[in-house]
Every structure is written in C-alpha cells, then in structure tokens.
Amino acid sequence: MEKKDIKKLWRFYTIADYEREESFLNEMARAGWNLTAVGFCRYIFRRGNAGEFIYKLDMVERTESDEVKESYFNFLTDCGIRVVGEFKDWIYLQKRASDGPFDTKNNTYAKLRQVNKIYSFSLRTVCNLLRIFVAIMLVLVLLQVLMSNNAGVMDFCNGVIYSLGISSLIALAIIWVPIINKLRRKVNKLIEDIGVNL
C-alpha cells in the first residue's frame, strides 16, 4: 500500500456529536476514502471506490461480557456489516452502499434507541466520575481528621481539596453538562416526534 493511498485525519467529536461524526465518515467515503481504523480523535482512511461503503456508529459498552459482544458481532457479520473500528465504547460499522441503508431513513424509533443508549451511558459515566470524586474527597477528609496533629499533612490535604478538588469538579461540569443537555434535548425531541405526548 503506497503512502498516498492512506490518509490520517484528526477530528474531535464529543459523545453527543455522533451524528456529525457519522456524516464526516460518510462524506469521506463518498469521496473515495474508506475508514480502516479509529483512535483517540484519529481516523485512518484508505483510498477506495467512491461511494462503495456507508458508515454508522454504534455503542457496545465495554462492560458487556465477551459472549454478548461476540454474539452481536457475529450477528452484524451475518447482516453484511463489518466492524472496522473500535474506540472505547463505540464501534464503527461499515456496509456496502449497494446493500441498502442501515435502516429506514428518518426512523424515529431507531434514532431514539441509539440516542437513549448514548444518553444513559453518559449519565452513568458522570455518576461514576462523581462517585470517584466523592471517594477521594472522603479519604482526604478522613486523613485530615486522623492526622490533625501533623501540620504538613493538614496543609497537603487542604491544598488538594481546595485546588485540585474544586477545579476537577468545575472541569467535570464544563465538559459534561453541555453534553448531557444536548443529548437530553435530542431524546426529548424524538419522544415528541413519536407522539407520546399527544
């Protein structure tokens, strides 16, 4: 494979921007660049026939057992779908365009299923991060209580609690609040489209 037939691009998409990420991959495929591997913000394409493949993102949580994953992957293979990349909890699906689309265009149920999966995953992630945060803070407070006669330890714990603790909490909020909000709006919009509220 010659070097000019390989293209490596950097792109950043948050978990809430999976639709934009899908569009990006499909645009590349239409221009003849087929996704072959995925890493952190990194996409590797190989030159191929323009419009031969279409792409879609799916989520399979890392916490799922190997059997569940294997059974799902086998099922996808049977459906003519190849998993071309895996990154964290995402899998990148490739299908021949001539075999038809991944699902009905504008299928609200399918979209809701996908975004709900991502939304609950994001909420769980934030809860887990908060749990870790609380655990670390509790350890530090406990340490302060136990070592209250040691000024060095007191200062260290105070420093960590006030600087690192607060800044990581702020970082958590800045990163995750917009993502959760965006996903929640998507979920609500789709629920409205289905007509549950009618």
- Residues near other proteins (CB under 8 A) are 56, 58, 72, 74-76, 78-81, 93, 100-104, 107, 109-110, 113-114
Read off the tokens for 77.
């293979």
Buried-exposed string 176-197: b where 16+ CB fall within 10 A, e elsewhere? beebbebbeebbeebeeeeeee
The minimum distance between CB 76 and other proteins, in angstroms, equals 5
Q: Give CA–CA dist 17/21, Å, rounded.
A: 6
Q: Which of 6, 74, 87 is nearest to 41 (CA)?
A: 87
Smaller CB separation from other proteins, 79 or 146: 79
**In angstroms, what is the minimal distance from the CB of 22 to other proteins?**
13
Work out how close the CB of 100 gets to other proteins at its nearest, in angstroms, rounded to a whole number: 6
Residue pair 44/79 in contact (Cβ under 8 Å)? The answer is no
The C-alpha atoms of residue 119 and residue 117 are separated, in whole angstroms, by: 6
User: Closest approach of Cβ 24 to other proteins, in Å?
Assistant: 20
Shortest distance (Å) from residue 190 CB to other proteins: 14
The residue among 53 and 176 lying less far from other proteins, judged by its C-beta, is 53
Q: C-beta of 113: minimal distance to other proteins in Å?
A: 6
Residue 44 DSSP class = E
* 45, two tokens: 């394409």
Measured between alpha carbons, how far is residue 179 from residues 1, 108, 166, 174 in Å? 39, 21, 20, 9
| Distance separating alpha carbons of residues 63 and 89, to the nearest angstrom | 9
* Smaller CB separation from other proteins, 116 or 168: 116
Nearer to other proteins, 28 or 95 (CB): 95
- Nearer to other proteins by Cβ, of 77 and 167: the residue is 77
Looking at the Cβ atoms of 59 and 136, the one nearer to other proteins is: 59
